[in-house]
Amino acid sequence: MNRNLLLAGLAVVAVAIGGFFVMNRDAAPGVTELGSAQAQTTSDIDTSMVKEMTIGAEDAPITFIEYASYTCPHCQRFHKDVFPQLKADYIDTGKVKFVYREVYFDGPGLWAGMMARCGGEDRFFGLVDLIYENQRTWTQGEPAQIAANLKKMGKLAGLTDAQLDACLQDGEKARAMTAVFQENSQADGVRSTPSFVIDGKLESNMSYDDLKALLDAKL
């Protein structure tokens, strides 16, 4: 998916306002707080609550960062066709430390990221798998229906309605996540998804065979 990520990062907050209002009609102050992000710079936002999500050995010889959007079909295909092989051959064997960084092109992508983080580090990558596996279904409908679809997946992972409501209505967290996305994507020069930063070098989407050749050459 190719778009202007920095503009999208600003626009996604405006898109998200409507969805948060639908999901949280009794908490209008939270909506106003989220909307204020459009007038803020990333330096005004506390991003310490947004943890980097990683799997694999900390001392692995290769650091592999993926930039991906939950609503991007190319990202879905990567996670269906390539990531399982990458995990089995390189992450689980201690050769690659994998870092997953979310890109928010739209409100639903941001809400999915908030839901995925609701269960903490232990449940994060399992929820990411569920989100991609069900991409064609949970993204359908109006904002309230999309939120309900996301909550269904969260409940499959053992989260409660109360936990999920709190996560999906957390305007401060949404603002911080958007700021982190903007900072990281700008620093790494990311302009499309999925994109990879492998040992500091930006790479575009590729087949597993090409990725394997690249990683083996580094090893």
Question: 40-71 burial, b if ≥16 CB within 10 A, otherwise e?
Answer: eebeebebeebeebbebeeebebbbbbbbbbb
What would the pLDDT profile of 167-191 be if each residue is shown by its tens digit?
A: 888 888 988 999 899 899 999 999 8
Q: Which domain holds residue 72?
A: 5-218
The whole-number pLDDT of residue 143 equals 85
Number of domains observed in the structure of the chain: 1
What would the pLDDT profile of 203-213 be if each residue is shown by its tens digit?
A: 999 999 999 99
Q: Which band of pLDDT confidence, cut at 50, 70 and 90, is reported for residue 71?
A: very high
Structure-block tokens of residue 89: 């051959």
Instruction: Supply the CATH number for residue 65's domain.
Output: 3.40.30.10
The whole-number pLDDT of residue 175 equals 87
Whole-number Å distance between alpha carbons of 102 and 120: 15
What would the pLDDT profile of 98-113 be if each residue is shown by its tens digit?
A: 999 999 888 889 999 9
How high is the mean pLDDT of the chain? Answer: 84
Residue 10 has pLDDT above 50, yes or no: no
Q: Which band of pLDDT confidence, cut at 50, 70 and 90, is reported for residue 11?
A: low
Q: Which residues contact 206 (CB under 8 A, 6 or more apart)?
A: 214
Helical residues (DSSP H) of the chain, grouped into ranges: 5-23, 28-35, 73-77, 83-86, 107-118, 120-133, 135-138, 143-156, 161-168, 171-188, 208-218
